[in-house]
């Protein structure tokens, strides 16, 4: 059964599906055979760069069969951990980190400082309490997960500064003192972690990329940043030449680039496949790219409904089959 056919079958009334028991049995056998034919092990095993994905607390036990890096989709955000002041809820994040540790997969924490999904109580605090709360949050995370490999220290500084930005430095002398302060606290708490910044509309848009590069330079001068995160949302119809140009410009800063939050959405299998074939090699083959993290892959567990790569029957869409073959072909070159 093709991915398209399986999705059509899903919409059939339950009674019709029950009446088709024999056919369903045959389909299940086909799906089982497909799973057996699927190569074992992470897609990017043996590569110098990782190909990762996001996990939730309802994690996929087969995750490590495809991906070799983990990002908590929401569980590592401050709001998820400390929705009520002083009450830390680590359960979902513990599940994800324990899973990654047991499979030897590096974790990228997402994220410490972000203007969205911050605790609702923090905006109303006096500045000194805001600053202390952020310090306490970063220190609490570091104490619990001292072995985290990477951290998105500040997420979307150009587009979503936090409500407490003034309390942690504001613009200041650099124009970005609040970002500098955040990285200083993260470096103190996690001296061995790779510290990253993360932002969207950088790969597509020169003006954003120039501002972003200036901010990265400020952090570089102070020895506070180890890599540049660039989100890959919304690249379905992007020009690969433009993407390459912006990657080249960022690479001139001399830091590795971490492509994050990639998904390519289409309800049409062949259209999605064409998107991956056009866009993914530009990201994967760039000399400065240290890793690529997708933002979900299972139907029903991905924020863009039609960007999934595995359907409800655990069947690969053509884009995922191609992705496996393509990445592994690059390892043989």
Q: Is 287 a catalytic residue?
A: no
Residues contacting 65, CB < 8 A, separation 6+: 38, 40, 41, 42
Contact criterion met (CB below 8 Å) for 80 and 120: no
Whole-number Å distance between alpha carbons of 5 and 94:
38
Instruction: Write the burial class of residue 321 (CB in 10 Å: 0-12 exposed, 13-18 middle, 19+ buried).
Output: middle
Contact criterion met (CB below 8 Å) for 124 and 164: no
Q: Is 261 a catalytic residue?
A: yes
Among the options 73, 82, 118, 261, which is catalytic?
261
Whole-number Å distance between alpha carbons of 214 and 187:
20
Among the options 82, 156, 315, 316, which is catalytic?
156
Which residues pair with residue 199 across a beta bridge?
A: 230
Catalytic residues: 156, 261
């Amino acid at each position: 059964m093709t991915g398209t056919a399986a999705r059509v079958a899903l919409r059939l009334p339950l009674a019709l599906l029950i009446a088709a028991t024999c056919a369903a049995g045959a389909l299940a056998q086909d799906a089982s055979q497909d799973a057996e034919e699927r190569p074992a092990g992470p897609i990017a095993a043996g590569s110098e760069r990782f190909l990762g994905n996001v996990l939730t607390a309802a994690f996929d036990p087969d995750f490590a069969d495809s991906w070799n890096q983990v990002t908590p989709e929401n569980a590592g955000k401050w709001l998820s951990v400390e929705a009520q002041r002083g009450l830390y809820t680590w359960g979902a994040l513990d599940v994800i980190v324990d899973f990654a540790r047991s499979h030897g997969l590096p974790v990228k924490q997402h994220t410490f400082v972000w203007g969205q999904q911050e605790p609702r109580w923090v905006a109303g605090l006096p500045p000194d309490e805001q600053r202390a709360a952020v310090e306490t949050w970063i220190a609490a995370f570091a104490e619990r997960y001292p072995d985290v490999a990477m951290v998105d220290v500040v997420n979307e500084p150009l587009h979503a500064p936090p409500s407490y930005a003034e309390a942690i430095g504001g613009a200041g002398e650099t124009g970005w003192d609040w970002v500098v302060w955040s990285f200083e606290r993260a470096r103190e708490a996690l001296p061995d972690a790779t510290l990253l910044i993360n932002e969207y509309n950088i790969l597509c848009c020169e003006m954003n990329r120039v501002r972003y590069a200036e901010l990265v330079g400020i952090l570089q001068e102070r020895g506070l940043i180890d890599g540049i995160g660039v989100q890959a949302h919304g690249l379905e119809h992007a020009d690969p030449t433009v993407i390459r140009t912006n990657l080249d410009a960022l690479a001139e800063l001399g830091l590795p680039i971490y492509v994050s939050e990639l998904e390519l959405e289409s309800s049409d299998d062949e259209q999605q496949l064409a998107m991956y074939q056009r866009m993914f090699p530009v990201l994967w083959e760039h000399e400065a790219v240290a890793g690529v993290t997708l933002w979900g892959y299972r139907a029903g567990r991905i924020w863009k409904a039609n960007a999934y790569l595995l359907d409800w029957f655990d069947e690969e869409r053509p884009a995922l089959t191609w992705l496996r073959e393509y990445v592994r072909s690059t390892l043989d070159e």
